[in-house]
Amino acid sequence: MAQTEQNHSEQNNLGRQRSRYLANLIFISFIALTAAACALFFLLRSRTVYYQLRDLNDMITGERGQPKLYYTEKELNERMEITRAQAVRGEYDAMLVQIKNAFQSGDSGINVLRRMYSDELVVSDGEHYYFESLYGRVPHSGFRSNDFALDNGRMLYRGENIAASALQGIGAGAGTNVSYAEAAQDGIRFAVIAAGEIGENGEILVEDAFPEAAYEAQANGLTVIASYDIADFPMRHTAPEAEPELDEEEEATFRLDALGQIPDLAGGRVMLRVPDPHGDEPRDAAERAALKSERAAYLSALADEVRQLGYEPVISADLYMLVSGTDLAGLGDTEICIRDHGTSLYYPFPFRMWEYSSVGEVRGVQGPAQIYLFLESQEKKLDT
């Protein structure tokens, strides 16, 4: 009996030893597997870091097979200049391709430049291109290019300002054969009629055919805008000592007397047409700035004379003269007529009128017609 109990106790002790041995074996195996996994992870991580360091070294040196630990400041500057030159060359080549494709499609040079330099205003004096800032002392009009669209040859306003409307008008020069009755039936609301010219010495040359044309247009319900070409517009800056001595009061009185010959248009508008540039605008920055100020002062004085007669002056000029050739801020709130014969609005500043075509088709006008757009608002009506 005692021997049997002893045997049974020994067997229990042996079982417990085996269990402890098995538990120790499992624990040691777990530790070994964990250590192996960590070693593999750090091996892979070290390999990744190695490749990253190698690639970084290649990027810095730019010369595979010839590793270099550092560059001097001079060497870095040289390599930066090379990189810049390569980038400029790539951009230059891309621009040449773009220009070539545009010309092959029949586009004009100035339109190509305007698309390429969309953050600037690009204008031309006929020979040179000028790049002007979009943002200066003159606020933007608020109109966008897609606010206007051509429809059967007429520029229409498609914008969101419900208070604005676009009225159509025609231009009639000396000797133009126009049936204003037919033009009115074709949707024309006003006529810009040549009334004369402000001569080179400041005298007013009156157009003899103006009164009859104005009366006929009015008789058919059209509003008349008298137009004067400015022949003595300053095209070159004149040094103060070289300016002729003029009696400004006598000159202004003479002009008022001559402008006063406009028939039955009190309260209407008088257009002052600035000549187009001749491509010989001054290149010197100081001379250009002086000429811009001189032009603005000249136009402001002339506009004031028109206001003294009870008319509303409208300054008509091409994009170059408005954007780059004249100090636009110096014109104050004088109404502007832009002369830009295109399919979309490019001028970003406030304007009242737009001569958008010189080859339009209007019933009652023989041959190509100048077509105008008048932007009417609650504050500014065509007849006021």
Reported confidence tier of residue 94, pLDDT bands at 50, 70, 90:
confident
The pLDDT tens digits of the residues spanning 141-183 come to: 889 889 999 999 999 999 888 767 889 999 987 667 899 999 9
Every domain of the chain and the residues it spans: 142-237+247-376
How far apart are the C-alpha atoms of 197 and 231, rounded to whole Å? Answer: 7
Q: What is the pLDDT of residue 3?
A: 53
Q: Which residue has the higher pLDDT, 328 or 126?
A: 328
Reported confidence tier of residue 39, pLDDT bands at 50, 70, 90:
confident
Q: Which residue has the higher pLDDT, 90 or 320?
A: 320
CATH class for domain 142-237+247-376? Answer: alpha beta
Reported confidence tier of residue 263, pLDDT bands at 50, 70, 90:
low
Residue 360 has pLDDT above 60, yes or no: yes
Reported confidence tier of residue 136, pLDDT bands at 50, 70, 90:
confident
Q: What is the pLDDT of residue 64?
A: 45
Residue 70 has pLDDT above 70, yes or no: no
- Regarding pTM above 0.85, the answer is no
How far apart are the C-alpha atoms of 319 and 327, rounded to whole Å? Answer: 13
Residue 13 has pLDDT above 70, yes or no: no
Q: What is the pLDDT of residue 96?
A: 65
